[in-house]
Amino acid sequence: MSEDLLARITESIVGGEPESVVALTRKALESGLQPLEIINQGLVAGMNIAGERFTRGEFFLPHLLIAAKGMQGAMELLEPELGARQQVHEAVGTVVIGTVLGDIHEIGKSLVGTMLSANGFKVYDLGVDVPKEDFVARVKETGADLLGLSALLTTTMIGQREVIEAIVQAGIRDQVKVIVGGAPVSQAWADEIGADAYAANAMDAVEVARRVLM
């Protein structure tokens, strides 16, 4: 019965039915399943399938966005439960992610965050229009291994460089790897501003995050 629920959560994620993901998650909690079980065997399993299909070219952006929406909705229910039960996600790494100052584009950044957390990273999403001081403070506070910077505007790309300069100044550059992304960003830009890596989409971001932390 509970396996069945988890399998249905996975299916709803992959099938692109965010409303049922949330409903099933609620049901799973009510039926006494542990939040971590729901996350790992339900949600993450689904996101992984969606991600693989995306990589194989069978899924496209809308699929992935809808799957992520289901996961995000379910996580909103599960996060407080996790906290209440003092359960911690065993994480492969800790990531601070956000869109740089002056830029409000959120969708790509959140998708990257969701894929990372579906792949075992502990993700602190600072949102959009984030000042460099906040990035520095949160990296220090969380002891993050990875800092993800998103920029969607030609005018705000420069913000990525400024954040990197700020973490150098704060003396924490060698504690954290920086990955950058967003439509106008390229590998060459990443090289130029001294980022550790660049990723073109959310699935690549997971690959790259694993690689730089090795």
Partner 1 sequence: MSKKSSSVPEYFHVDFEPIGRRVENNAGKTLLAAAQTAGVQLVSLCGGVGSCNSCRVRLVSGELSTPTREEQDALGADDLAKGYRLACQAIPLTDVKIDIPPESLTAPQRLQIEGQETFIEPDPVVTAFDVQLAPPTLDDLRSDVARIRQVLDDLGIACPVIRLPVLEGLSGRLRAQSWTARLVLRGDEVIAGLPQDSDLLGLAVDVGTTKLAAYLVDLEKGNTLAKTGRMNPQISYGEDVVSRIAYTINNEEGRKLFQAKLVEAINDMLAELHNQTSTSSEQVVEAVVVGNTAMHHLFAGLPVRQLGEAPYVPAVADPMDIPASEIGLALAPGAYVHLPPNIAGYVGADHVAMLLATDVWDSARTVLALDIGTNTEISLATGGRLLSCSCASGPAFEGAHIHDGMRAAPGAIERVQIVDGEVRVHTIGSQPAVGICGSGILDAIAEMVAAGVIDSRGKLQKDNPLVREEDGVVEFLLMPAESAGHERDVIVTQKDVSEVQLAKGAIRAGIEILLEAAGVAHDAIEEFIVAGAFGTYLDIRSAVRVGMFPTLPVDRFRQVGNAAGTGARQMLISAERRQATAEIVRRVEYIELTTHPNFTNEFIKAMSF
Taking the least distance from each CB to partner 1, the nearer of 141 and 192 is 192
Render the chain in DSSP notation, one character per residue. Answer: -HHHHHHHHHHHHHHT-HHHHHHHHHHHHHTT--HHHIIIIIIIHHHHHHHHHHHTTSS-HHHHHHHHHHHHHHHHHHHHHHHHTT-----SEEEEEEEBTT----HHHHHHHHHHHHTTEEEEE--SSB-HHHHHHHHHHHT-SEEEEE--STTTTHHHHHHHHHHHHTT-GGG-EEEEESTT--HHHHHHTT-SEE-SSHHHHHHHHHHHH-
CB of 72 to partner 1, least distance (A): 10
Residue 102 binds which of partner 1, ligand B12, none (CB < 5-8 A, kind-dependent): partner 1
Residues 106-125 that bind partner 1 (CB under 8 A): 106-107
Residues in 142-171 at the binding interface with partner 1, rule: CB under 8 A: 153-156
Per partner kind, with CB cut-offs from 5 to 8 A, the member of partner 1, ligand B12, none near residue 112 is: ligand B12
**Which range, of 11-19, 22-30, 37-45, 177-185, touches ligand B12 by CB under 6 A?**
177-185
The site for ligand B12 (CB under 6 A) is made up of 61, 104-109, 111-112, 148-150, 152-154, 179-184, 199, 201-202, 205
The site for partner 1 (CB under 8 A) is made up of 16, 57-63, 65-66, 69, 101-104, 106-107, 128-129, 153-156, 184, 186-189, 191
